Amino acid sequence: MSAKRTKKAQPEEMFDPTMAAQAEVDRQEGAASEAPAPTSQSTQDQVNAKLTAVLERLTEQADRGAVKQIPLAKAKIRTPWNPTGDRMRPKLQRITRMNGFRLTETKLTNNAIRLFNQLRAGKYNQGRWVVMESTDPAAGNSGAVDLYVQNKSFADRIQLKGDAPTIDVLLWKIVKEQGDEPNIEGELSMQAKSVAQLRAEGKTGE
């Protein structure tokens, strides 16, 4: 006698309204995220206003014509040492060093350049300033001039500030102590006191 196999009934799935509602909400949110965000009228107006302003500036520039370009070779480059941007400046006639550091015209005033060219070997300001002239192979026949100024200690720097507030004044005083007439134009620039004040105080070596 064959045994009859009985099929076990499967339990029916229960409908969960809460899960169905959540699935619908997720579907709507996903569709909303994929849709392009509408542009507000105020935002579009701002974009249009900026574009209009740019077009107006471009039109004004076109009406004025091309902007004149100045070649770098002819440009006046103003610096604290060359406030007028003068391109025809004096040149150092020798390799020039101060306390071992080589100097260039770009970091010197016109008067400082002229005064450096006048320096002669010797000790000045009671030996606190020393000028040495030498033959430098790199300079050819022009040689080199070295200026040494005492400034290692704090006391030295205070003394230097009182004797010569700027390098222009320091060089001016050395040339005067040499017995030469300083080759300068106008007043010394970049200094705390004018030449007239120095003369009045008797600190020029005259």
What are the tens digits of pLDDT across the range 50-103?
A: 888 888 888 887 777 666 776 666 677 778 778 788 888 899 999 999 999 999
Q: Which of 4-18, 43-57, 72-86, 162-176 is least confident?
A: 4-18
Assign 106 to helix, strand or coil. helix
pLDDT confidence of residue 185: 77
* Structure confidence at residue 188 (pLDDT): 65
> How much of the chain exceeds pLDDT 70, in percent?
63
For tokens 């029916």, what's the residue?
12
Is 70 exceeded by the pLDDT of residue 180? yes
Residue 60 to residue 33: CA distance in whole angstroms: 44
Q: Which two tokens stand for residue 93?
A: 């006639």
DSSP secondary structure of 109-124: -HHHHHHHHH--SEEE
Residue 112 Cα distances to 103, 126, 189, angstroms: 11, 22, 9
Whether the per-residue pLDDT at 138 is higher than 90: the answer is no
Q: How far is CA 169 from the centre of its chain?
A: 27
Other residues' Cβ atoms within 10 Å of the Cβ of residue 96: 22
